[in-house]
Amino acid sequence: MTTIAQKLSDLNITLPNAAAPAANYVPFVKSGNLLFISGQLPFENGQLIHKGRLGENVSVEDGYKAARQCGINIIAQIKAAGGLEKVARIVRLGGFVNSSADFTDQPKVVNGASDLFVEVFGDAGRHARAAVGVPSLPLGVAVEVDAVVELAD
């Protein structure tokens, strides 16, 4: 059986160190078998990628890439919580897309994270989801994603 760490390596994904919280919250909370991951921003190599607003100055393709990076950062938080090889199911993702009023392709953007979780976790990566347009996000990023993960005993 392939481990998640091996699957990430096969996909050429190197997990960053889990990001520290930027305010008065914790990056994850474990309650029972559920792991709640705080919203992750698209940091890559310590730098924010794809700042701006979908429908104005960020393309759907770049929004997708930003959501994928948020997903990678969620996986880094799962690892920091000691759950990387214990993921039973990605239960739910919340995708927030910094969007102009007339932008309606939020689901295509958040697919960046959704597709990643299916690539990495297979059927256990299929999840419920929200893809919501918002008028702004922290630090001017285009996308933020949070997650609920079920861990095996």
The half-sphere exposure of 10 on its side-chain side, counting CA atoms within 13 A, is 9
pTM of the model: 0.97
pLDDT tens-digit readout, 91-115: 999 999 999 999 999 999 999 999 9
| Residue position matching structure tokens 């393309």 | 59
Residue type present at position 58: V
Residue 116 in contact with residue 71, Cβ under 8 Å?
yes
Q: Does the residue 100 lie in any domain?
A: yes
Domain containing 107 equals: 41-147
Q: Does the residue 59 lie in any domain?
A: yes
Q: Does the residue 18 lie in any domain?
A: no
Q: Which tokens in the block code for residue 30?
A: 């474990």
Q: Does the residue 71 lie in any domain?
A: yes
Q: Does the residue 20 lie in any domain?
A: no
Q: Does the residue 108 lie in any domain?
A: yes
CATH code of the domain containing 51: 3.30.1330.40
State percent of the chain over pLDDT 70: 99
Residue 153: the pLDDT is: 86
